[in-house]
Structure 1
Amino acid sequence: MSRLVIAEKPSVAQSIASVLGAGNRKDGYLEGSGYLVSWCFGHLAELSDASAYNPDYAKWRYEDLPILPEKWQYSVASDKKKQFDLLKKLMERSDVTEVVNACDAGREGESIFRTVYNLTGCKKPMLRLWISSMEDAAIREGFSVLKPGGDYDGLYASALCRSKADWLVGINATRLFSVLYHRTLNIGRVMSPTLALIVQREAEISAFKPVPFYTPVLDCGGFSAAGEKCAEKAAARAVADACKGQPALVQTVEQKEKSEKPPALYDLTTLQRDANRELGYTAQQTLDYLQALYEKKLCTYPRTDSRYLTADMEGTVPALAAAAAKICGVSVPDTVLAAQVCNSAKVTDHHAIVPTEGAGRADVAALPAGEREILRLVARELLCATGSPYRYQETAVTLSCGGNQFSAKGKAITDPGWKAYQKEKADPAKESVLPDGLTEGMTLPVTAVTIKEGKTTAPKHYTEDTLLSAMETAGAKDMPEDAERKGIGTPATRAGILEKLVSTGFVERKKQKKATNLIPTQIGVSLITVLPEQLQSPLLTAEWEHQLKEVERGEVKPSAFMDGICNMLRDLVGTYKVIDGSQVLFPSDRETVGKCPRCGGAVTERKQGFFCENAGCRFALWKNSKFFTAKKKNLTKSVAASLLKDGRVKLTGCYSEKTGKTYDATVVMEDTGEKTNFKLVFGNG
């Protein structure tokens, strides 16, 4: 009897097979010691395109919307069919008694395995491997405590809802707005609200008017003290004039011992933010490097939203810190405060990202540069998180001069603590330190009085660092306090969303000094201008993410979540009206083929046909029109131009489906204002 183990990728399957003793290599799987170990190549099967439900859906037509499948269909890509068929064959083997889901331990991994399991019609008992590290010891331990597959039914239900919701919004909203505005406008359940955040930020920057302010400053020899900000320069000048030639009286001196706690460990989003800010990596690059480190057994599972380890891991933390010190090239810390990074109550599906013990023995210098830098970031965060607090003494002084109040602050570092491991270490020499011996009632000579001019600054453009933060917290203040999933998207999906915004032409990356800003393009701004609230609201999308988590926990029925999505789309298609003047928002640079017979607007060529540029008009000549394809003729630009100019065009060599012969005829176009019909006229008719 054998167990069939299915991993997400060949490399992971090989690591698992090595631990299980399945060393006999076959075509598409490994075998040995009572195990068959195979893999999926990521998503082997995915939700089918709309045309699978109805061939007419190959055309993008307003009349067909909304497309809401009653029974969902899946398709297996041709380049993955061989592996799918192999898995089906392995599942059907008489000696296979159980199937182990060893795909990545998360929502996507659950979806990848279950889709194949269900499509093959497998009914054999299902077990779940749930691990956070690819180290041999973690794999062995995971196989010793395999869970029943049914324990993860909620996770699969939420994965299914997520993929179906994304399909429904993507297919219907993209077609609706593309047809109405005559250009391809990709709409996404998560992508569009993220674009809205970027567009809103740019609008705030454009509308911003800087406001000047003026601050009188005393130079007291060893330090400077600032007065109140003034809106008018004359007011600041009056304060400065009143202080000239006057001593400053020390009114109060307050000294406080202060400290900063170490940061928590990395979850994926926090790591992506730091990697973007410090290394300039995109969120997708960071995820790719981290995934490679995970598969090389050097880091723990990447797609986590937890920043703590579980309580039972406390004993392993000193060894992990020793490995981290080796990776960073620093001395092993004398004290490792393991308890402050261990909190089981704050761990969801996976604990925080940390280096593995094995990473300390690896040749870090031999790693590709991106992987090496990410591993060092992860190691550094572990050293910081298990370090002692950063401590300093803060001195605050208030002064009186010429009847006006001034203040100054100084800081003296007493213990660098965890900041000793930071890239920008706490440097006592760089801190502003007030002179010793300042006491209340003493007078100080004023050597100069100046006016410091400043002005309020506009909000900053989003970088991937700040946008990831905004996505993570979007809608949070309006969500329930105990909401487990807040914000737009998940740690696993946010990087892909940013990449899609760039690849679809809605956002550009623009380098400015050390930062790379995310700037909306003209078409990105135009899209948000015409999108209704329900498709661009970060709060609504955050609510959907929260509901998906409730589906996972069994608190919301999948049907209720899907009903909400379907009802929203029915309402959208039924009520949305084209924005007036949209020609300005979506200007066309295409050559005019002819005049629209319905509204007189310009008809231009696109990939799928010839369309009126007037967004309120739905006139179209489709290139794949059955009338022309049945006659083996192409609806070319010259054919379209004749139809638009004269209402007719002469065609030679038309194919007859009945006789198999060819003939010549004139095609006459008749447009009713709602539909465009064609008929054949022979001779001089």
Structure 2
Amino acid sequence: MNLVIAEKPSVAQSIATVLGATKRQDGYLEGNSYIVSWCVGHLVELATADTYDERYAKWEYADLPILPENWQYSISKGKEKQVKILKELANRKDVAVITSATDAGREGELIFRLVYEKIGCKKPVKRLWISSMEESAISEGFKALRDSTYYDALYQVALCRAKADWIVGINATRLFSVLYGQTLNVGRVMSPTLAMIVEREAAISAFKPEPFYTVLLDCGTFILSCEKLTDRQAAEDLRKACDGQTIAIHSVESKEKSEKPPKLYDLTTLQREANRQLGFTAEQTLSYAQSLYEKKLVTYPRTDSRYLTSDMSESTPAVAKAAAGIFMPKNLEPSIFMEQVTDNGKVSDHHAIIPTMNIQDCDLYSLPFGEREVLLLISLRLACAVNESCKYEETTVTAIVSGAEFTAKGKTILSEGFRGIEKSYHAMQKDKQPVEKEKVLPSITTGQTFDTKAMIKEGKTSPPKHFTDDTILAAMENANNALEDSERKGIGTPATRAGILEKLIKTELLERKGDKKTKHFLPTQKGVSLITVLPEAIQSPQLTAEWEEKLKQIEHGLLSPDSFLQEISQMTKSLIRTYEVIKGSDVLFPSVQEAIGKCPRCGNDVIENQKGFCCLNKTCGFALWKENKFFTAKKKKLTKTIAVELLKNGKAKLPGCYSEKTGKTYDAIVLIDETDSKYVNFKMEFPANR
């Protein structure tokens, strides 16, 4: 028998169907010489600090640094039953081989290996490595199983990354929390990401807008403009000199140009595009893409490649035609140039994200809103990427007036190419902003004269923009551009960056602000204070990027995990030995806990802590938890403002609630529901003018 271990029950079900393992048992499926079981995410994880010594249960400065010599592992809380099932299955006498079928990536490898080690299994292991959950891909994957030792380096780098994060996270979080008297979460990737956002907000706050002036010449059917001027008087003098003059066109230049189709999506570019176009967070996009993968509608999403491999050149055109068919009239045949998207040298573990052939039979509007929109983006990108370039003629008209050069530019589309498919997509999205029309100039010849009216257009320089999911992902991806010969740029990985952003919000170091679609990140006062006291070594994006580079070297066998972890440990020791509390930090981290209201049950003060708003009377049990299903289902957070209102009036306005059914938002009023004597529940009312 072959014991196949998948990462999730849904994936196991798909694999079992292909293998013919149809007999359902408790925690696994069996049949046709296969047993198919599953993990449920991370079943085994690095043990907590107090596992090594009971005294570590309390956070004490004297106990730092905590640097395990012999790493220990524990079963994740609530997942003991599935680990027991896997151990019993692996020890069955009729099981001769184990097949690892967890997600084909760094984390998937770690999930399987830790379970394999924990259950003490010694049987040989094969590895299933696929990029699609289609039946044909699963079937072909089982014909090409590799010995698991081929992926040993991938496991080592995954384990090394987890240990490095443990060392930095445990020690630095305890150090700064103890020294400053409150929980301050510090992380190897978290802290540099927060530092970039804090630095951006400081630049915005310090920005002073400067005025500029542009002189425009209205020629009736088009407008000429000069270079921006910073001196108001100079602009006014030029306007007077030009106003009312009859000008002659000095030159008309037309050039044929082309715009290449966009590359296919990797995870980061998909997340960025979905944030720009749809307002989805990075985590939402990853969740939607993962669900589409498990539904066999797209290929593996956690990829950092934007190309396909040459062996896909025969099968992909049919998928591209099906994708283009979503947007193009049925009687039109799309152009397909596979060489534009094929490059074996630029594909590492997984190729770019594309739809599968199953989209041709998919009822788009039966999918949840978020999944449908992400599938449309992925399909659109494939249809565009294999299509022709957009060809256009760019015309530049120049006139010399009173010694100044004035220009006007226009663009005429000669062949839409991939832009035609994009236009069809935007036509489908009726509630989205229309595509900006190209600026077309009238027919103009050199020497032609025009009567003009001069005017001044005033403007101001703009401050840097707040980081959005889109732009912070780009900043994380390119954090180490300064590094020479860098193979992997950035901090974090495509698969982990979304989780880092959400953890920063969960630990109250960041918050999202803005309207329904365009939200940006702002550091909280706690976040700004933390970056103020963190040393450069912890908050430096470049140092973290160098660590990411070394992890990649470990994956390629160019660096030993021990030497990398020794460097991390040495830095941690140095940090604890040399760090001194910043003077005046009591202003940054006030210790007095402010009451936000009175407990409706016992009348004691309610204070805010990391997880919620709790009654000071421990026996009362009243608490408004920040993370609760009622609010998260509506993509809302129980903020301090809402908690204050609920405690004061028993109700609070809750605008912009998300409907999972329609994908739209609505306004409501939330009320505390005390029908349950133990837990605080909520119910909703709707405004009369809704």
Same fold, judged at TM 0.5 (above)? yes
The 3 A distance-change label for structure 1 pair 582 and 359 is: same
Deviations 1:629-659 (CA, angstroms, capped at 9, x unpaired): xxxxxxxxxxxxxxxxxxxxxxxxxxxxxxx
2:454 alignment partner in structure 1: 449
C-alpha separation between the residues in 2 aligned to 1:168 and 1:157?
Answer: 16
Q: CA deviation at 1:404?
A: 2.3
Q: CA deviation at 1:97?
A: 1.1
| Aligned pairs for 1:125-144 within 5 A | 125-144=124-143
SS of match in other structure, 2:78: helix
Q: CA deviation at 1:42?
A: 1.0
Alignment partner of 1:461 is 2:466: yes
2:339 alignment partner in structure 1: 339
1:18 alignment partner in structure 2: 17
SS of match in other structure, 2:288: helix
Alignment partner of 1:177 is 2:181: no
C-alpha separation between the residues in 1 aligned to 2:139 and 2:371?
Answer: 26
Larger gyration radius, structure 1 or structure 2: 1
SS of match in other structure, 2:250: strand
SS of match in other structure, 1:79: coil
1:375 alignment partner in structure 2: 375
| Aligned pairs for 1:192-207 within 5 A | 192-207=191-206
CA contact (8 A) 2:279 2:516 kept: no
Alignment partner of 1:436 is 2:440: no
Alignment partner of 1:107 is 2:106: yes
Q: CA deviation at 1:343?
A: 1.1
Deviations 1:599-628 (CA, angstroms, capped at 9, x unpaired): xxxxxx9989xxxxxxxxxxxxxxxxxxxx
Equivalent residue in structure 2 for 1:522, among 522, 525, 529: 525
2:553 alignment partner in structure 1: 550
C-alpha separation between the residues in 1 aligned to 2:227 and 2:369?
Answer: 49
| Aligned pairs for 1:58-457 within 5 A | 58-328=57-327, 330-331=329-330, 333-422=333-422, 423-424=425-426, 430-439=437-446, 441-446=447-452, 448-457=453-462
Alignment partner of 1:479 is 2:486: no
Deviations 1:467-510 (CA, angstroms, capped at 9, x unpaired): 1111111112x2233x3321010010011011111111111111
Deviations 1:160-209 (CA, angstroms, capped at 9, x unpaired): 00100111111000000000000000001111110011101101100100
C-alpha separation between the residues in 1 aligned to 2:608 and 2:436?
Answer: 64
Amino acid at match of 2:274: A
Q: CA deviation at 1:429?
A: 9.1
CA contact (8 A) 1:413 1:428 kept: no
SS of match in other structure, 2:314: helix
Amino acid at match of 2:470: D
C-alpha separation between the residues in 2 aligned to 1:508 and 1:499?
Answer: 9
The 3 A distance-change label for structure 1 pair 182 and 545 is: same
CA contact (8 A) 2:242 2:401 kept: yes
Q: CA deviation at 1:420?
A: 1.5
The 3 A distance-change label for structure 1 pair 607 and 382 is: closer
CA contact (8 A) 1:322 1:360 kept: no
* Segment drifting more, 99-108 vs 75-84: 75-84
Q: CA deviation at 1:258?
A: 0.8
2:575 alignment partner in structure 1: 572
CA contact (8 A) 1:131 1:139 kept: yes
The 3 A distance-change label for structure 1 pair 428 and 569 is: closer
Q: How many aligned positions are there?
A: 591
CA contact (8 A) 1:412 1:428 kept: no
Alignment partner of 1:489 is 2:492: yes
Structure 2, unpaired ranges of 5+: 428-432, 596-606, 611-690
Amino acid at match of 2:302: R
C-alpha separation between the residues in 2 aligned to 1:225 and 1:31?
Answer: 75
Amino acid at match of 2:444: G
Amino acid at match of 2:393: Q
* Segment drifting more, 243-252 vs 536-545: 243-252
Amino acid at match of 1:358: N
CA contact (8 A) 1:157 1:551 kept: yes
C-alpha separation between the residues in 1 aligned to 2:178 and 2:608?
Answer: 12
Structure 1, unpaired ranges of 5+: 593-604, 609-685
SS of match in other structure, 1:315: coil
TM-score, length-scaled by structure 2: 0.83
C-alpha separation between the residues in 1 aligned to 2:108 and 2:523?
Answer: 33
Report sequence identity in percent.
Answer: 58
Q: CA deviation at 1:323?
A: 2.3
Amino acid at match of 2:46: L
Equivalent residue in structure 1 for 2:536, among 521, 524, 533: 533
Q: CA deviation at 1:428?
A: 10
RMSD: 1.9
The 3 A distance-change label for structure 1 pair 368 and 329 is: farther
Q: CA deviation at 1:430?
A: 2.6
Equivalent residue in structure 2 for 1:585, among 567, 583, 588: 588
1:683 alignment partner in structure 2: none
C-alpha separation between the residues in 1 aligned to 2:275 and 2:244?
Answer: 51
